[in-house]
Structure 1
Amino acid sequence: MESQPRGGTRWKRFGLVMVPSVAATAAIGIAFAQGALAASFAVSGQQFKVTAEVLDGTGFTQYGAQDVKHNGERIPVAVSSFETATITGLCQSVVVPTPLGNITVKITAGNGDRKVQAQNLFIDINNLDADATFTNIDIGVSADHTTKGPGPAQGDDYVPGSFAQQADGALLTNLKQTAWATSAGTFKLPGLSLSLHRGKNECY
């Protein structure tokens, strides 16, 4: 599977203890790249919130890394990746400060039988709550030797040989998460709806 490089300046002392309950997540970003995030990618400095009723994914991998804000600040993240993902009841929200006060941008998609479909999906998260079921999960593998899903790419900001986990499949329900960035090779959003709200009107 081809993907563009991800990451930024290497963070050599990143130590993230990951457990299965934080092993997978769903998100939609406002902008997507083909494959993974580019090495020159810098996050805006604003987190966004995401909820989903169900995420059913195959080819799952997770490893510790970092994102870099536009001002150079380094942010520790858990990168969760899926070869494929089907998402039901997706909601994303981000609160944007403006001269008129806070404005919430909210996006929904994939309701009913029309589910969101993603391939080569990467999500950089720092918080997740969900009910999770994993199929054939391997915990404590090397980030350099993951085989079940998209792993670290050249230029990724992770520690070679560091902790990672992977699974053939991941089923997540009642997802609530905060994330810094998302990218996907393809992202199909049936029933996409975007709305603006004065003040805070987040997904949760």
Structure 2
Amino acid sequence: MLHRAGRTSWKRFARVLVPSVVAAAALGVGMAQGVLAASFLISGQKFQVALDTLDAHGLSIYGTVDVTRQGTLVPVVVTGARRAEISGLCQSVVVPIPVLGPYTLRVTGGQRSRIEARNLFLDATSVSSGQANFDDLDIGVAAGAVSKGPISPQDRNSRFFDPNGFAQQADSALLRDVRFTTVAVSATTFNVPGLDVRLRQGHHECF
């Protein structure tokens, strides 16, 4: 039976993400056996995305599997938003450089004015939030029946996409102190005021 709620906490909501990851892992086994074909190749390098706030309008969350160019399978939970406003963006990735050691590429923006994005997708291996409020939340929706939020065209057209798989959706959501460990981020538009890109020696991750 479809669960509906006006508002809920992130901790309660996060508990239902586990079946999505399990389903994604099962799809990964299918690919390893030659049943499925990958349509989206990632580097496999994990990076951090920290947001002070994520105000999403048209939210979807579903599980899938990303694959690296070398064929490594990476189960992920995809968070999608038709339209999003973001404040306090920090993105970081540590890159080992021969002889010189580790360097951190760190991107920040949206400190004074909000970032605006459309059709935003974050493929994450872990997600946390200090506080999250959801409006008109549906938990347990079949992925193929998601209508409030977007499904990435690359995912929908892939053999990894299970239209009967577990998904969630909401008309809107406001998340604070959000932390994503991601392998991929995409958006049709991503407007970042106050963009700052720095490369620093050592470890200077966002969290």
Tell me, yes or no, if structure 1 residue 171 matches structure 2 residue 174: yes
- With over 3 angstroms needed to count, the CA separation of the structure-2 counterparts of 1:84 and 1:53, relative to structure 1, is same
Q: Select 1:159's aligned residue among 154, 158, 162.
A: 162
Considering only CA atoms, is the larger Rg found in Structure 1 or Structure 2? Answer: 2
Contact 1:128–1:175 (CA under 8 A) maintained in structure 2: yes
- With over 3 angstroms needed to count, the CA separation of the structure-2 counterparts of 1:144 and 1:19, relative to structure 1, is farther
Between the aligned partners of 1:198 and 1:70, the Cα distance in structure 2 is: 28
Matched residue, 1:194: 197
Letter of the aligned partner of 1:186 in structure 2?
T
Identity of aligned residues (%): 43
Matched residue, 2:67: 68
Contact 1:49–1:203 (CA under 8 A) maintained in structure 2: yes
- With over 3 angstroms needed to count, the CA separation of the structure-2 counterparts of 1:158 and 1:22, relative to structure 1, is farther
Contact 2:145–2:163 (CA under 8 A) maintained in structure 1: no
TM-score (norm 2): 0.78
SS at match of 1:201: coil
Matched residue, 2:94: 95
Contact 2:51–2:179 (CA under 8 A) maintained in structure 1: yes
Contact 1:23–1:62 (CA under 8 A) maintained in structure 2: no
Q: Select 1:20's aligned residue among 13, 23, 27.
A: 13
Between the aligned partners of 1:23 and 1:163, the Cα distance in structure 2 is: 9
Letter of the aligned partner of 2:133 in structure 1?
T
Between the aligned partners of 1:149 and 1:158, the Cα distance in structure 2 is: 16
- With over 3 angstroms needed to count, the CA separation of the structure-2 counterparts of 1:45 and 1:183, relative to structure 1, is same
SS at match of 2:200: strand
- What displacement does 1:160 show? 2.5
* Stretch deviating more after TM superposition (180-189 or 39-48): 39-48
Matched residue, 1:138: 138
Matched residue, 1:58: 57
Letter of the aligned partner of 2:13 in structure 1?
P
User: Where in structure 1 do 4 or more consecutive aligned residues deviate above 6 Å?
Assistant: none
- What displacement does 1:21 show? 3.7
Q: Unaligned stretches of 5+ in structure 2?
A: 1-10, 18-37
Between the aligned partners of 1:161 and 1:154, the Cα distance in structure 2 is: 14
More helix as a share of residues? 2
CA RMSD of aligned residues (A): 1.9
- What displacement does 1:22 show? 7.5
- What displacement does 1:159 show? 2.1
- With over 3 angstroms needed to count, the CA separation of the structure-2 counterparts of 1:23 and 1:62, relative to structure 1, is farther
Q: What is the number of residues matched between the two proteins? A: 172
Tell me, yes or no, if structure 1 residue 43 matches structure 2 residue 36: no
